[in-house]
A and B are shown apart, each in its own frame.
Chain A
Amino acid sequence: GEDVEQSLFLSVREGDSSVINCTYTDSSSTYLYWYKQEPGAGLQLLTYIFSNMDMKQDQRLTVLLNKKDKHLSLRIADTQTGDSAIYFCAETVDDYKLSFGAGTTVTVRA
């Protein structure tokens, strides 16, 4: 199946941490990705994680992977107004294409 699932909306106060959750479908997916899309723009690669890892940290971003439950999360520490965007998780399907979730709209409020 190709139904990567994400919650649709997240509102967070500036300075707090944001956690965006995703459930993917293909247990054989070896790489999982997080992309960010700002209004009117394309997709910006934020980070990715290899399936044999449980966690990856990259500055303010922390990715957690629970392969048993096929659950992926992205934590953004010290969320800023510039983090307001739509965040997509994606898995590689059939080795050549990305299957995306519907995207989580993150709104950062002052």
Chain B
Amino acid sequence: KAGVTQTPRYLIKTRGQQVTLSCSPISGHRSVSWYQQTPGQGLQFLFEYFSETQRNKGNFPGRFSGRQFSNSRSEMNVSTLELGDSALYLCASSRLAGGPGDTQYFGPGTRLTVL
């Protein structure tokens, strides 16, 4: 079974631009979560989607948004990019509706660099 895939793997943008990242979950998984990883803040939760609905959101500004499609694929968008948005963005999928036993499997990440 294929793992979580993320595209693109690398992106370079300039301040003020916007960017869209894509995540395809493991087949049969319905929940998708996004995390941001930076050297300073470590791994931080962005948001989680299930059945095309954002159920939970982390402590990030409104410039960060996302959506989930009927096939469970998810996209996240960052508008008006800032230098501090440079990070590795990780997508994770899980089988069910979340919950402590619903293991999250991660993709390889998208490395975003903002110049």
Instruction: List A residues at the B interface (Cβ < 8 Å).
Output: 29-31, 33, 35, 41-45, 48, 50, 88, 92, 94-103
Stretch at the interface among B14-22, B42-50, B66-74, B76-84: B42-50
Instruction: List B residues at the A interface (Cβ < 8 Å).
Output: 4, 6, 33, 35, 42-43, 45, 48, 55-56, 58, 90, 92, 98-101, 103-109
Minimum CB–CB distance from A5 to chain B (whole Å) comes to 11
Q: How many angstroms between the C-alpha atoms of A42 and B115 in the bound complex?
A: 23
Specify the chain B residue showing the minimal Cβ separation from A90: B43
Q: How many angstroms between the C-alpha atoms of A33 and B43 in the bound complex?
A: 14
Q: Are A43 and B106 in contact (CB under 8 A)?
A: yes
Minimum CB–CB distance from A29 to chain B (whole Å) comes to 7
Contacts A96-B55, A97-B33, A97-B45 given; does A42 touch B108 at CB 8 Å = yes
Q: Are B105 and A88 in contact (CB under 8 A)?
A: no
Q: How many angstroms between the C-alpha atoms of A103 and B88 in the bound complex?
A: 15
Please name the 8 residue pairs, one residue from A and one from B, whose CB atoms are nearest each other, closest first: A43-B106, A30-B100, A100-B43, A92-B100, A97-B45, A96-B98, A42-B108, A42-B106
Q: Are A97 and B43 in contact (CB under 8 A)?
A: no
